[in-house]
Amino acid sequence: MEHMGIVSILPVVLAIIIAIKLKNVIPALFAGVLTGVLILSGGHPVTAVTTMIKSYLFAQVADSYNAGVLVLLVFIGGFVGLMEKSGGAAAFALKMTEIVNNRFKVQLSAWLGGIIVFFSDLGTPLIVGPISEPLFDKLRVSREKLAWIIDSTASPIAVLVPFIGWGVYVMGLIQKEFTALGIAESDWTAFIKAIPFQFYPILAVIMVPVVAFTGYEFSAMARAEKRTIDTGERYWPHSKPLRHANDERNANSKAILIWLPLIVLFVTLFGILGPLGFPLKKVPGSTFRTALSTGYLFAAITIISLMVFHKVKTLSESFDIYFSGMNKMMNVAVILVLAWSLGAVGKHMGTANYIIEVTHGTLPAWGVPAVVFLIGGIMSFATGSSWGTFAILMPLVIPMSETLGAPLHACIGAVLSGGLFGDHCSPISDTTILSSTGAGCDHIDHVETQLPYALLNGTVSLVAYLLAGITGSALCLLLAMATLVVSLVILSKRNGVHIPNTTVEDVERLTPEPATARE
According to the model, what pLDDT value does residue 344 have? 86
Q: Supply angle C-alpha 265, 270, 274, rounded to 5.
A: 165
Q: Does residue 506 lie in a domain region?
A: no
- Cα–Cα distances in angstroms (integers) from residue 376 to residues 52, 371, 381, 388, 390, in the given order: 27, 8, 8, 10, 8
Separation CA 93–CA 98 (nearest Å): 9
What is the rounded average pLDDT of the residues 309-335?
90
Separation CA 205–CA 116 (nearest Å): 13
According to the model, what pLDDT value does residue 20 have? 66
How many domains does one find in the chain? 1
Q: Does residue 514 lie in a domain region?
A: no
According to the model, what pLDDT value does residue 7 have? 94
According to the model, what pLDDT value does residue 359 have? 59
Cβ neighbors of 230 (< 8 A, separation 6 or more) are: 510, 511
Q: Does residue 507 lie in a domain region?
A: no
According to the model, what pLDDT value does residue 162 have? 82
Separation CA 104–CA 213 (nearest Å): 6
- Cα–Cα distances in angstroms (integers) from residue 383 to residues 60, 204, 296, 429, in the given order: 15, 21, 30, 8
User: Do the Cβ atoms of 242 and 441 come closer than 8 Å?
Assistant: yes
User: Do the Cβ atoms of 496 and 222 come closer than 8 Å?
Assistant: yes
User: In 194-253, at which residue ranges do the beta strands (DSSP E only) sit?
Assistant: 216-218
Separation CA 439–CA 511 (nearest Å): 24
- Percent of the chain scored above 90 by pLDDT? 48
In this prediction, residue 485 has a pLDDT band, given cuts at 50, 70 and 90, of very high
Separation CA 187–CA 500 (nearest Å): 46
Separation CA 59–CA 352 (nearest Å): 20
Phi, psi of 217, rounded to the nearest 5 degrees: -130, 150
> Per-residue pLDDT for 341 more than 80?
yes
Q: Does residue 246 lie in a domain region?
A: no
Phi, psi of 241, rounded to the nearest 5 degrees: -60, 140
Q: Does residue 513 lie in a domain region?
A: no
Separation CA 318–CA 308 (nearest Å): 8
Most confident region among 138-147, 250-259, 342-351 by mean pLDDT: 138-147
Q: Between residues 117 and 498, which one has the greater pLDDT?
A: 498
User: Do the Cβ atoms of 257 and 307 come closer than 8 Å?
Assistant: yes
Give the number of other CB atoms < 10 A from CB of residue 509: 9
Cβ neighbors of 30 (< 8 A, separation 6 or more) are: 338
- Cα–Cα distances in angstroms (integers) from residue 200 to residues 2, 152, 459, in the given order: 30, 10, 9
> Per-residue pLDDT for 247 more than 50?
no
Q: What is the pLDDT of residues 31-80, one digit of tens each?
A: 999 999 999 999 999 999 999 999 999 999 998 878 888 888 888 889 88
Give the number of other CB atoms < 10 A from CB of residue 400: 18
Q: Does residue 458 lie in a domain region?
A: yes
Q: What is the pLDDT of residues 147-183, one digit of tens each?
A: 999 999 999 999 998 877 688 788 888 888 898 889 9
Q: Between residues 402 and 145, which one has the greater pLDDT?
A: 145
What is the rounded average pLDDT of the residues 325-351?
86
Q: Does residue 503 lie in a domain region?
A: no
> Per-residue pLDDT for 133 more than 80?
yes
One-letter amino acid for residue 284 of the chain: P
Most confident region among 5-9, 315-319, 327-331 by mean pLDDT: 315-319
According to DSSP H, which parts of 405-513 are helical? 408-425, 430-438, 443-471, 476-495, 504-508
Range of the domain at 321: 6-238+251-498
What is the rounded average pLDDT of the residues 348-374?
81
Separation CA 125–CA 329 (nearest Å): 13
According to the model, what pLDDT value does residue 250 have? 65
Q: Between residues 412 and 334, which one has the greater pLDDT?
A: 412
Average pLDDT of the chain, as a whole number? 87
- Percent of the chain scored above 70 by pLDDT? 92
Q: Does residue 433 lie in a domain region?
A: yes
In this prediction, residue 23 has a pLDDT band, given cuts at 50, 70 and 90, of low
Separation CA 143–CA 221 (nearest Å): 10
